Amino acid sequence: MTTMENPAGNTPQITAQAVPTLPATPTVVPAALRPQPYMRLQWNDSVTGAVGYLVVHTLRAGLATGGTRMRAGCTIGEVEDLARGMANKTATFDLPVGGAKGGIDFDPKDSRAAEVLERFCEAMRPWIDSHWVTAEDLGVPQHLIDEVFEKLGLGQSYHAAISRAADPAATLERVRNGLNAAVDGGFLLGDVIGGYGVAHACLAAAVSWGQSPAETTVAIQGVGTMGGAAAYYLHEAGMRVTTVADAAGTLHCADGLDIPALLDLRDGFGEIDRARLPDGVEQLPRTAILGAEVDILVPAAISYAITPDNSYDVRARVVVEAANAATTPEAEAMLAGRGIPVVPDFVANAGAVAWAWWLLLGWVDDTPENSFDRLRTIMHTKVAQLLAAWTERGVTPRDTGHRWADEPAPALAPVHIP
Residue 14 confidence (pLDDT) above 80: no
187 and 160 share a domain? Answer: no
**Quick one: average pLDDT of 132-154?**
95
CA–CA dist 143, 342 (Å, integer)? 31
Query: Is-contact 248 274, C-beta < 8 A?
Result: yes
108 and 205 share a domain? Answer: no
Residue 6 confidence (pLDDT) above 50: no
Among 164, 198, 230, give the residue marking a domain's end: 164
* More reliable by pLDDT, 73 or 15: 73
Predicted pLDDT at 12:
30
Give the domain range for residue 52.
37-164
Predicted pLDDT at 413:
52
153 and 190 share a domain? Answer: no
Is residue 155 situated within a structural domain? yes
157 and 277 share a domain? Answer: no
Is residue 142 situated within a structural domain? yes
Query: Is-contact 303 327, C-beta < 8 A?
Result: no
115 and 209 share a domain? Answer: no
Provide the number of structural domains found in the chain.
2
Query: Is-contact 113 106, C-beta < 8 A?
Result: yes
**Quick one: average pLDDT of 124-133?**
96
151 and 188 share a domain? Answer: no
When the pLDDT of each residue in the chain is averaged and rounded to a whole number, the result is 91
Q: What is the pLDDT of residues 163-179, one digit of tens each?
A: 999 999 999 999 999 99
Predicted pLDDT at 410:
58
Is residue 337 situated within a structural domain? yes
251 and 375 share a domain? Answer: yes
Residue 407 confidence (pLDDT) above 50: yes
CA–CA dist 195, 227 (Å, integer)? 6
Predicted pLDDT at 7:
37
Residue 226 maps to which CATH number?
A: 3.40.50.720
Q: Is the dihedral of CA 360, 366, 367, 371 positive or negative?
A: positive
Is residue 236 situated within a structural domain? yes
Total Cβ atoms within 10 A of residue 34: 11
**Res. 155 pLDDT band, cuts 50 70 90:** very high
Predicted pLDDT at 273:
97
182-183 and 132-133 strand pairing: unpaired
297 and 233 share a domain? Answer: yes
Residue 53 maps to which CATH number?
A: 3.40.50.10860
Predicted pLDDT at 31:
47
Is residue 217 situated within a structural domain? yes
Query: Is-contact 45 358, C-beta < 8 A?
Result: no
CA–CA dist 114, 97 (Å, integer)? 28
State what percent of residues in the chain have pLDDT above 90: 87
366 and 338 share a domain? Answer: yes
**Res. 9 pLDDT band, cuts 50 70 90:** very low
**Quick one: average pLDDT of 229-246?**
98
Predicted pLDDT at 23:
45
307 and 383 share a domain? Answer: yes
159 and 219 share a domain? Answer: no
Residue 416 confidence (pLDDT) above 90: no
Is residue 411 situated within a structural domain? no
Among 130, 164, 198, give the residue marking a domain's end: 164
Is residue 9 situated within a structural domain? no
CA–CA dist 381, 371 (Å, integer)? 16
Amino acid letter, 185: G
Residue 372 confidence (pLDDT) above 60: yes
Q: What is the pLDDT of residues 278-303, one digit of tens each?
A: 999 999 999 999 999 999 999 999 99
Q: What is the pLDDT of residues 49-107, one digit of tens each?
A: 999 999 999 999 899 999 999 999 999 999 999 999 999 999 999 999 999 999 999 99
Cβ neighbours of residue 237 closer than 8 Å, sequence gap 6 or more: 199, 203, 213
Query: Is-contact 151 118, C-beta < 8 A?
Result: yes
235 and 324 share a domain? Answer: yes
Predicted pLDDT at 169:
95
CA–CA dist 279, 277 (Å, integer)? 7
Is residue 173 situated within a structural domain? no
Predicted pLDDT at 418:
82
**Res. 409 pLDDT band, cuts 50 70 90:** low
